[in-house]
Amino acid sequence: MIANFHTHTTFCDGKNTPEEIVIHAINKGFDAIGFSGHGYTPFDLRYCMQDTEGYLREIRRLQVKYQKDIQIYAGVEEDAFSPLTRSNFDYIIGSSHYFLVNGQYFPIDSNYDYFKKCLEAFNDDIPRLAETYYQSFCAYIHTRKPDIIGHFDLITKFDEIDTPRFLNNGQYKQIAVKYTEEAAKSGCLFEVNTGAIARNLRTAPYPSEDLLYILKKAEAGLVLASDSHTIETLDFGFEDAKAYLKEIGFKHVYGLLDGAFKKDIL
Ligand SMILES: [Zn+2]
Ligand SMILES: [Zn+2]
């Protein structure tokens, strides 16, 4: 199956309209495309959808218009701090993009300056920061059970562009492993997200390799996702990611087809 289920458009912080993306996906031979606009976060309007009704109307229009050419799904990337009315969406990606410290939201992944503010809020205490992040993310995962868990170890995003703080830190690894095991018990699918590679920030997808081994052992299901914000990156790094997952021992990933998540052999 050729598909991507983590796709942003001009309805949030993406560069292309849904229709431009659908046409591009059809030209690339995609079987399915899933849109996942950022769910409304009233405390941070910089990047989220503010016209969710318009978004849904447009995706439903495209579903009809292009039904002979491609399967189209109207999903949402829900932030852990922004529970939504979910019934309108075909599927939910649950992601955690913030720390909530003393009533203030600190975005983790917007840019490196914001990330440094997160570090300051925790006095550069990486284990405490990681515990806080994963604990609240896992509480959300078990309570709200999204279909797909988005970029599980997003806090490692800037590890390769400046001081490495997480991926070579034994204490961090222990914490990440513990919470990966806990999140896997939810039965939710995990994304393998190539978005940070496309932005030249990372050389491997989320989650990191050691966490993928944990997910393999836990028999968790995976979904390949590009977290694309432009048509150029709709299936970015998918072939490399598939080979990498096969090396780790995965035999298949999951994708939405005919309205349900189904296994797709790697
Ligand atoms: Zn995200
Ligand atoms: Zn995203």
Contacts of 58 (CB under 8 A, 6+ apart): 11, 18, 19
State what percent of residues in the chain have pLDDT above 70: 100
- Tokens 């990498």 sit at which residue? 244
CA atoms of 188 and 220, how far apart (whole Å): 8
Residue 83 has pLDDT above 90, yes or no: no
Nearest-angstrom CA–CA distance, 262 and 91: 13
Nearest 10 degrees: Cα torsion 109, 5, 75, 261: -130
pLDDT in tens, 208-228: 999 999 999 999 999 999 999
Q: Which two tokens stand for residue 33?
A: 């495309």
Instruction: Find the domain containing 60 and state its range.
Output: 3-265
Cα 150 to ligand 1 centre (Å): 6
Ligand positioned closest to the Cα atom of 195 = 2
Alpha carbon of 70 to ligand 1 centroid (Å):
25
- The residues placing their C-beta within 5 Å of ligand 2, an ion, are 77, 227
The pLDDT, as a whole number, for residue 106 is 92
> According to DSSP H, which parts of the chain are helical?
18-27, 52-65, 112-121, 126-144, 170-184, 195-198, 209-217, 238-248
Cα 38 to averaged position of ligand 2 atoms, centre (Å): 7
Q: Looking at residue 208, what is its pLDDT?
A: 97
Q: What is the dihedral of CA 63, 17, 32, 261, to 10 degrees?
A: -90
Distance CA 78, CA 144 (A): 10
Mean pLDDT of 24-37: 98
CA distance 218 to 185: 8
Give the chain's domain count: 1
25 close to 62: Cβ distance less than 8 angstroms = no
Q: How far is the CA of 123 from the centre of ligand 1 (A)?
A: 25
Residue 7 CA to ligand 2 centre (angstroms): 7
Query: 2: exposed, middle or buried (C-beta count within 10 Å: 0-12, 13-18, 19+)?
Result: middle
Give the gyration radius of the chain's Cα atoms.
17
pLDDT in tens, 33-51: 999 999 999 999 999 999 9
- C-alpha distance from residue 265 to each of 17, 191, 216, 222, 252 (Å): 31, 16, 15, 11, 4
**Nearest-ligand number for the alpha carbon of 82:** 1
| Ligand 2 center–CA 102 separation, angstroms | 26
**pLDDT for the residue 42:** 94
Q: What is the CATH number of the domain that holds 183?
A: 3.20.20.140
Ligand lying closest to the C-alpha of residue 41: 1
Task: Report in angstroms the alpha-carbon separations of 193 from 92, 186, 224, 238, 247.
Answer: 15, 19, 6, 9, 17
Query: Closest-lying ligand to the alpha carbon of 76?
Result: 2
Residue type, 161: I
Place of tokens 């995962």: 141
CA 197 – ligand 2 centroid, Å? 13
Q: How far is the CA of 68 from the centre of ligand 1 (A)?
A: 30
